[in-house]
């Protein structure tokens, strides 16, 4: 055995001292492991905590740990106050607070388990159940006033109620039901309840009628009582609404308001509260105004089923002067109040509807709402003017006034135009321009000369034209009509204009009802110096063809262009092609400040082509002043062959009259 030296003894003592110094740390480190000393007895709580909670609640989980511990939640909606799903600590008695949030909160309840770990063992010590989300719904009107469930909501006199719903039910699962007398419309959260037309005239308040909103699987629903107060007791709804006077022919076979034709019998519907209305007929005299007439004295026939369906017919031919009348419907509440007046119903209803104006009884403004229709039947036979032939001529007159032709058929005759007019009439003339339309003018100021022997012939001659194209209408108006318009007054022309013309798209045009008095429409060509020619010098591919094909002449005639104003040019096909009509400045004003003319280009197919760079064609205008001693306009037309692949028709249009001056046919 080796003897220990002093040096070895010192090393040994040092090692023992180190071991004694490390002993507490070594055993302590063992305790720091999860679970601590394996010899320590681990006991979990004997009772599991069970809690039912809602988002925002706090749950305290208490336990006593004999060693180091850790608790873990298995749901992210159940977290510690620090926002974590777990917590840890040393032995002892502890309380861990768990906060319940609304992450993933749905319509099904959910449960979180809190597990306690000590050592290698674990146990669920708390079951926390989060309640399911509740269904939510609020219903409000257009004023944002909320309705309580079961509350009565009223559709007003308009029969319409607009609602908004605020709910957490998915909109594709939201359903609604209504009584049969309501037509619902829904756009997202906006809901409109509308009374069906047949129910408008009745008040409705059935205790069982309800408007119900519900989830598609019936897991949730809310109902509200609905009622309808009905129309206002003084209100009428009339269909159709005829604005203006209904003119009835003297033979009672035709009727119209302006250009709108009506076929008798005319059917009206009247909506009144509980079908409570009474019909009333009034006649109208130009001197005395309105007065009540009994049904037996009416020149019109009315049928009423007392349920709002009314039929108006005109079976009686007028054998006397013009006659006027008005058919009204009064709500029962007004009839009842007037019937109780001490002065009697007839007097009371006149005072209610009429007022004194210039010695006549005229309809009050407020009373117009009760009027179904105002009627006027034309005067008897002395108003009749017969024009022969019956066809209304559309005649084109040569510039010298010696020749006229039918603008459509092309038939040519020597002046004068002869026709036959019978009856008591007065000849009236009207000019036309593209700015204002028709205007009444005196015969002596026109370019017509009329010879009328009042027996068997009427002849119209024409003065020569030394200017631009011009248009006139010639009418033979019945004398009673003329006399009714006060021919001696300064307002005669204005009154006459109102009788003959109506405004259409900003221009005064002849009324349909006035066409029966029109003898003819005359369009006189400009003078010969304004005729159109085609300049063909130095331009290849240009060929003037005066003997234009009949097909093109027919097209021109339909547009009112005389044959001597129709030209045809051939065109070479290539990247582009050009035609160069040479036009007198007196005809073509594009180069001048007046800018009174325009070009319009159509294909033979009828398609209209568009002018301008990068469009279908371009046009250019150059004034040439050394040709035949006069200024001419050279119009250069360049077509895009990619866009235009057919024969063209180029119209030269006078903007003042909107009539064609000439026509050029371009043939590939």
End residue of a domain, out of 382, 405, 434:
382
> What's residue 538's pLDDT?
32
Cα 352 to Cα 334: distance, rounded to the nearest angstrom: 9
Is a pLDDT exceeding 70 seen at residue 34?
no
β-strand partners of 618? 638
**Minimum mean pLDDT range among 56-70, 187-201, 290-304, 450-464:** 450-464
Query: From the CB of residue 27, how many other CB atoms can be counted at a distance below 10 Å?
Result: 10
Domain membership of residue 454 (yes or no) is yes
Could you tell me the residue range of the domain that residue 615 belongs to?
Answer: 531-667
Please, which contacts does 360-366 make with residues 24 or more away whose CB atoms are closer than 8 Å?
360/285, 360/286, 360/287, 360/288, 360/289, 361/288, 361/289, 361/290, 361/291, 362/289, 362/290, 363/290, 363/326
Written as one string, the DSSP assignment of 184-215 is: EEEETTEEEEEE-GGGTTS-B--TT-EEEEEE
Backbone region of residue 606 per phi and psi (left: phi > 0; alpha: psi in -120 to 50; beta: other values): left
Provide the CB-side half-sphere exposure for 168 (13 A, CA). Answer: 8
How far apart are alpha carbons 151 and 469 in whole angstroms?
Answer: 77
- Higher-pLDDT residue of 250 and 531 is 250
Give domain status of residue 13, yes or no.
no
Residue 244 neighbours by CB under 8 Å, 6+ apart: 257, 258, 374
Mean pLDDT of all residues belonging to the chain: 80
CATH number at residue 473: 2.60.40
Confidence class for position 105, pLDDT limits 50, 70, 90: confident
Q: Grade residue 80 by pLDDT with cuts at 50, 70 and 90.
A: very high
| Residue 488 in this model has a pLDDT that exceeds 50 | yes
What is the Cα–Cα distance from 346 to 329, expressed in whole angstroms?
15
pLDDT at 197: 82
User: Where residue 58 sits, what CATH number does that domain have?
Assistant: 2.60.40.10
- Collapsing DSSP states into helix, strand and coil, what is residue 482? helix
Mean pLDDT of 96-111: 90
Identify the DSSP state of 614: T
Name the residue among 156, 66, 75 with its Cα closest to residue 115: 75
Please state which of the ranges 252-261, 272-281, 623-632 shows the lowest mean pLDDT: 623-632
Ranking 119-123, 157-161, 480-484, 654-658 by mean pLDDT, the lowest is 654-658
In this prediction, residues 559-583 reach a mean pLDDT of: 55
Most confident of 383-397, 411-425, 610-624: 411-425
- Dihedral over alpha carbons 590, 596, 599, 600 (to 10 degrees): 160
658 half-sphere exposure, CB direction, 13 A CA radius = 8
Report yes or no on 17 lying in a domain. no
Report yes or no: 521 and 473 within 8 Å, Cβ to Cβ: yes
What integer pLDDT is reported at residue 611 of this predicted model?
A: 86
Statement to judge: residues 77 and 214 lie in one domain: no
Of 329, 359, 382, the residue that ends a domain is: 382
What is the DSSP pairing of strand 255-257 with strand 576-579? unpaired
- Considering the domain architecture, whether residues 198 and 334 belong to the same structural domain is answered as no
Query: In the chain, helix, strand, coil percent, each to 5?
Result: 15, 45, 40
pLDDT-based confidence at residue 25 (cuts at 50, 70, 90): very low
Residues 192 and 262 grouped into a single domain: no
344/371 same-domain check: yes
Residues 239-252: what's their mean pLDDT?
89
Which has more pLDDT, 558 or 243? 243
Residue located via tokens 């049904």: 295
Backbone angles phi, psi at 490, to 5 degrees: -70, -20
Q: Rounded distance, CA 347 to CA 355, Å?
A: 12
Whole-angstrom distance, CA of residue 292 vs CA of residue 349: 9
Same domain (yes/no): 536, 605:
yes
Q: Which two tokens stand for residue 660?
A: 């064609």
State whether 120 and 146 are in the same domain.
no
**498 and 617 share one domain:** no
The pLDDT tens digits for 497-542 are 999 999 988 889 999 888 888 989 999 887 755 444 333 333 333 3
How many structural domains compose the chain?
A: 5
Between these two residues, 61 and 590, which has the higher pLDDT value? 61
Q: In whole angstroms, what is the distance from residue 86 CA to residue 224 CA?
A: 49
Whether residue 20 lies inside any domain: the answer is no
Shared-domain flag, residues 184 and 266: no
Q: How many CB atoms lie within 10 A of CB 513?
A: 16
Tokens, residue 382 = 């002395």
pLDDT at 420 over 80: yes
* Nearest in space to 248 (alpha carbons), one of 298, 321, 314: 314
On the question of pLDDT at 566 being above 90, the answer is: no
Q: What pLDDT was estimated at residue 590?
A: 44
Give DSSP secondary structure letters for 251-302.
TSS-EEETTEEE-SSEEEEEE-GGG-EEEEEEEEETTTEEEE--GGG-SSEE
Which tokens is 404 given? 């006229």
Q: Quickly list DSSP for 130-159.
A: EPPPPP-EEEEETT-PEEPTT-EEEE-TTS
Confidence of residue 560 (pLDDT cuts 50, 70, 90): low
Closest CA to 442 of 450, 452, 454, 434: 450
Q: Is 29 within the bounds of a domain?
A: no
The number of angstroms, rounded, from the C-alpha of 655 to the middle of its chain's C-alpha atoms is 32
Query: Looking at the domain assignment, is residue 588 inside a domain?
Result: yes
Do 376 and 506 belong together in one domain?
no
Contacts of 140 (CB under 8 A, 6+ apart): 146, 147, 163, 164, 166
pLDDT tens-digit map of 603-642: 877 788 888 877 887 777 665 554 444 445 556 677 776 7
Q: Do 457 and 538 reside in the same domain of the chain?
A: no
| Residue where one domain finishes, among candidates 341, 363, 382 | 382
Q: Rounded CA gap, 136 and 53, in Å?
A: 19
> What is the spatial distance between Cα 377 and Cα 412, in angstroms, rounded to a whole number?
41
User: Residue 230: pLDDT above 60?
Assistant: yes
Q: If you search the block for the tokens 């009697």, which residue do you land on?
A: 344
- Alpha-carbon distance 151 to 149, whole Å? 5
Dist. CA 617–CA 664, nearest whole Å: 15
pLDDT at 212 (0 to 100): 95
| Statement to judge: residues 326 and 280 lie in one domain | yes
Tell me the pLDDT band of 380, cut-offs 50, 70 and 90. Answer: low
18: helix, strand or coil = helix
Contacts of 543 (CB under 8 A, 6+ apart): 536, 568, 569, 570
pLDDT the model gives residue 633: 55
Q: How far is 664 from 581, CA to CA, in rounded Å?
A: 8
Of 663, 642, 649, 653, the residue nearest 577 (C-alpha): 642
| Residue 281 and residue 164 share a domain | no
Residue 249: Cβ-neighbour burial (10 angstroms; 0-12, 13-18, 19+): middle
pTM of the shown model: 0.38
At residue 214, the 3 state secondary structure works out as: strand
What's the CA gap between 468 and 535, in Å, rounded? 22
Q: How would you classify residue 388: left for phi > 0, otherwise alpha for psi between -120 and 50, otherwise beta?
A: beta
CB 127 within 8 A of CB 48: yes
> Is the confidence at residue 119, as pLDDT, over 80?
yes
Q: Which tokens sit at 37?
A: 């000393």
pLDDT, greater one: 468 or 80: 80
Kindly state whether residue 307 falls inside one of the protein's structural domains. Answer: yes
| Segment 141-155 mean pLDDT | 89
Residue 2 lies in a domain: no
- Give me the pLDDT at residue 408, please: 67
């Amino acid at each position: 055995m080796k003897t220990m030296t002093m040096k070895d003894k010192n090393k040994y003592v040092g090692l023992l001292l180190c071991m004694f110094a490390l002993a507490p740390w070594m055993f302590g480190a063992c305790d720091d492991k999860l679970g601590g000393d394996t010899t320590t007895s681990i006991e979990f709580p004997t009772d599991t905590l069970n809690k039912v909670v809602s988002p925002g609640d706090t749950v305290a989980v208490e336990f006593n740990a004999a060693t180091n511990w850790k608790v873990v939640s298995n749901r992210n909606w159940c977290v510690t106050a620090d926002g974590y799903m777990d917590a840890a600590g040393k032995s002892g008695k502890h309380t861990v607070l768990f906060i319940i949030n609304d992450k993933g909160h749905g319509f099904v309840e959910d449960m979180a388990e809190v597990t306690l770990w000590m050592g290698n063992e674990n146990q669920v010590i708390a079951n926390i159940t989060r309640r399911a989300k509740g269904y939510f719904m609020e219903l409000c009107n257009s004023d944002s006033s909320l309705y309580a469930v079961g509350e009565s909501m009223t559709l007003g006199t308009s029969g319409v109620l607009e609602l908004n719903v605020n709910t957490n039910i998915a909109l594709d699962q939201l359903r609604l039901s209504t009584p049969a007398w309501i037509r619902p419309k829904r756009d997202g959260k906006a809901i409109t309840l509308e009374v069906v037309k047949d129910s408008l005239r009745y008040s409705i308040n059935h205790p069982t009628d309800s408007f119900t909103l519900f989830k598609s699987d019936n897991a949730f629903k809310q109902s509200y009582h609905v009622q309808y107060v009905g129309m206002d007791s003084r209100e009428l709804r009339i269909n159709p609404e005829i604005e203006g006077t209904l003119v009835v022919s003297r033979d009672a076979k035709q009727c119209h308001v302006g250009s709108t034709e009506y076929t008798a019998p005319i059917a009206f519907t009247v909506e009144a509260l509980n079908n409570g209305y009474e019909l009333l007929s009034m006649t109208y005299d130009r001197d005395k105004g309105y007065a009540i007439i009994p049904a037996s004295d009416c020149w019109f026939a009315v049928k009423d089923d007392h349920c709002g369906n009314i039929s108006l017919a005109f079976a009686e031919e007028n054998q006397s002067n013009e006659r006027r009348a008005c058919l009204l419907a009064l709500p029962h509440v007004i009839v009842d109040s007037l019937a109780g007046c001490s002065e009697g119903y007839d007097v009371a209803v006149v005072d209610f509807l009429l007022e004194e104006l210039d010695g006549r009884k005229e309809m009050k403004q407020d009373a117009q709402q009760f009027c179904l229709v105002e009627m006027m039947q034309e005067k008897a036979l002395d108003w009749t003017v017969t024009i022969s032939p019956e066809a209304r001529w559309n005649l084109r007159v040569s510039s010298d006034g010696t020749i006229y032709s039918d603008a459509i058929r092309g038939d040519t005759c020597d002046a004068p135009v002869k026709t036959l007019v019978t009856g008591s009439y007065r000849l009236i003339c009207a000019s036309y321009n593209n700015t204002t339309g028709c205007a009444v003018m005196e015969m002596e100021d026109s370019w017509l000369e009329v010879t009328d022997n009042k027996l068997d012939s009427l002849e119209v001659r024409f003065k020569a034209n030394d200017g631009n194209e011009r248009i006139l209408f010639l009418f033979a108006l019945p004398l009673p009509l003329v006399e009714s318009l006060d021919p001696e007054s300064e307002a005669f022309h204005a009154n006459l204009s109102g009788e003959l013309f109506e405004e259409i798209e900003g221009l005064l045009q002849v009324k349909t009802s006035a066409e029966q008095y029109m003898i003819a429409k005359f369009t006189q060509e400009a003078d010969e110096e304004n005729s159109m020619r085609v300049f063909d010098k130095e331009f290849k591919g240009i060929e003037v063809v005066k003997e234009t094909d009949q097909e093109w002449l027919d097209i021109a005639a339909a547009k009112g262009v005389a044959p001597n104003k129709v030209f045809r040019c051939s065109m070479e096909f290539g990247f582009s092609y050009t035609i160069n009509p040479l036009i007198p400045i007196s005809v073509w004003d594009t180069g001048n400040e007046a800018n009174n003319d325009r070009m319009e280009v159509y294909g033979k197919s009828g398609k209209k082509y568009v002018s301008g760079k990068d469009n279908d064609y371009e046009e250019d205008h150059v004034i040439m002043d050394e040709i035949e001693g006069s200024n001419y306009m050279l119009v250069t037309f360049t077509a895009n062959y990619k866009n235009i692949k057919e024969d063209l028709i180029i119209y030269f249009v006078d903007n003042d009259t909107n009539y064609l001056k000439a026509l050029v046919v371009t043939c590939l």
